[in-house]
Structure 1
């Protein structure tokens, strides 16, 4: 759960704790100077209470540390760390200390926008970090970009050696979303056929018992320029506000709709309980460890019911 959704996230944890095994607050970032810091150091009193309630929930807490800070991905500090042995050692010490001093079960690393030249160094980093965390009784999770081959579709894919990462980590969290993204043409976020291909490749490199499938709980509203992300609640609100009929795309197994606003046509693709159920079923089919939900904002409450089901109804 991201730092901007802590209040809703805490409510979800409290309401659906029996459906969860753990939580990963997305609350730590890597600053331009390479130091680890809270994304939002000045939480409101309500947000602080929400975060504390998540930590006190009794569920396993493995916070995510991402190279995202001040609203953008920070490649330079991670590149410096990966290619300077002394800086890497300090970074590993800092991450381990964070897990130990805050009594977290472990650390989830979500370092994105890497380059192909970082591949060997990134493997060395996660291997050494895994050893350091394990020596203190802590776990390592590594969040990786989705791909259907080792080369993948983009340079960041080539920086991540699934097999090597799996040997170092307790969990490999596969971000099976953003098949279409903010600046792409409109389309499904996580089409079922693509998620199947992602899992088919991942399970050739990683033991299924270590794979956690990332399931999106959001969408995008495309019109002109960069599409803003929308929660399920916001997508539902827009469809009602503009009297837009939600369509079900058979190929991708996801909902979408058009609407007009001020003479501009918008196209919204998003995820709901039925499209999530498709991903849950695939996770079961491939026998992976479980799923994690990227909960951007208020989600389709019906989704929680589908977790206990193996089927996915098609109506939107």
Structure 2
């Protein structure tokens, strides 16, 4: 009789779980899920042919980034608000493991709306000054504090994980960074969270050596995705040439290096795609172009007077010229056409998906035509 009662109880519990699963839209196949601290499941149904589409929020644009996400949320699976940096509100250069939440950008209602759409919110955290992260990595106390702060903040704020975006670290501490990433990623996983790491774009052992990122160290299961910022190709050059934001052949060489030479699994890689441009002014005295803005939006270009633009097929980017108050300007910029060319690399290299810098003020044809045309497997 006792055995029969146990059997009946199992059947009843199985039926309840089945009904709950149907109500929540849960599937047993190809379902990615996360647990929060209370053991609650946040379900995200992923088909094997799906690609992840994500985007960073510009912290200084109020709700513009989120508004774009909400308008096209059916295309997205993840958003990355840039709400955090190392340091404190009074000392952004401090390197003791504390993190600063940008109160002017943080928005709890946005978190709720993102989760209500069935999407993940994985905020980005960056460093502020050169060598700041290195000081933390070389202090066991600061390193532990940073891990604790990131894990606790993810739990309290109900984030699904973190996106590390450390671009100012010196390359000498590659091993320490890899160890830190492993420890942080494993700790987050134990709490039902994930870790993504955003890296610079490099296409050789030499260019890789300039960064703190060691691809061998980032292949670990502690890292969910490696996101490559495949743009700002000439950043750091002096002088910066009038050239593409990210020449398509250069982007291809980066993917070839990372995937085929360094053997990073392609389904672990997210391609960072620019939807903005670089603007230049003409100096009549030196007969040369000088960088004006290393970041200008599509809406900015569309509002320029006497704006003329030409598609540059060799770069798969747009070139433009205009004059304003007697000053000559030029730009290389991205729109739906250039984005679509880069989305083709996602399928060609069998990547996990794409992430845009930045949501807001872009060419919205990216969402109405480019993404549906190139990545039909999205959700």
Q: TM-score range by the shorter chain?
A: 0.7 to 0.9
Pick one of 86, 104, 111 that aligns with 1:42.
Answer: 104
CA–CA distance in structure 1, aligned partners of residues 62 and 117 of structure 2? 14
Q: Deviation per CA, 1:36-71: give whole Å up to 9, x if none.
A: 1123x2359xx775565445543111111111xxxx
1:179 and 2:237 correspond: no
CA–CA distance in structure 1, aligned partners of residues 165 and 64 of structure 2? 22
Structure 2 CA distance for partners of 1:118 and 1:104, relative to 1, 3 Å:
same
Higher relative contact order (CA 8 A, sep 6+): 2
Partner residue in 2 for 1:85:
140
Partner residue in 1 for 2:297:
231
CA–CA distance in structure 2, aligned partners of residues 203 and 153 of structure 1? 13
Which range moved further: 191-200 or 270-279?
191-200
Write the mapping of 1:211-222 to structure 2, written as runs, cut at 5 A: 211-222=269-280
Structure 2 CA distance for partners of 1:208 and 1:234, relative to 1, 3 Å:
same
Structure 2 CA distance for partners of 1:43 and 1:123, relative to 1, 3 Å:
closer
Structure 2 CA distance for partners of 1:301 and 1:225, relative to 1, 3 Å:
closer
1:93 to partner: Cα distance:
1.1
> What is the TM-score when the length of structure 1 is the normalising length?
0.87
Aligned residues: 298
Partner residue in 2 for 1:272:
335
Write the mapping of 1:158-307 to structure 2, written as runs, cut at 5 A: 159-167=212-220, 168-181=222-235, 184-204=240-260, 205-223=263-281, 224=290, 226-238=292-304, 241=305, 243-295=306-358, 297-304=360-367, 305-307=369-371
Partner residue in 1 for 2:6:
none
Q: Deviation per CA, 1:84-127: give whole Å up to 9, x if none.
A: 12211111111111111111111110011222212111111111
Q: Which runs of 5+ in 2 are unaligned?
A: 1-56, 88-92, 282-289
RMSD between aligned residues: 2.2
1:119 and 2:181 correspond: no
CA–CA distance in structure 1, aligned partners of residues 208 and 331 of structure 2? 24
Q: Which runs of 5+ in 1 are unaligned?
A: 68-72, 312-316
2:201–2:231 CA contact under 8 A, matched in 1: yes
Q: Deviation per CA, 1:216-244: give whole Å up to 9, x if none.
A: 11112111464252111111211xx2x23
> What is the TM-score when the length of structure 2 is the normalising length?
0.74
1:190 to partner: Cα distance:
1.7
1:66 and 2:126 correspond: yes
Write the mapping of 1:130-141 to structure 2, written as runs, cut at 5 A: 130-141=185-196
Partner residue in 2 for 1:8:
64
CA–CA distance in structure 2, aligned partners of residues 12 and 297 of structure 1? 6
1:142 and 2:200 correspond: no
Return the index of the structure with the highest Cα Rg.
Answer: 2
- Give the SS at the match of 2:253: helix
Structure 2 CA distance for partners of 1:18 and 1:143, relative to 1, 3 Å:
same
CA–CA distance in structure 2, aligned partners of residues 249 and 228 of structure 1? 19
- Give the SS at the match of 1:151: helix
Pick one of 295, 305, 310 that aligns with 2:374.
Answer: 310
Which range moved further: 54-63 or 135-144?
54-63
Structure 1 stretches of 4+ with a deviation exceeding 4 A read 47-52
CA–CA distance in structure 2, aligned partners of residues 139 and 42 of structure 1? 25
Which range moved further: 77-86 or 103-112?
77-86
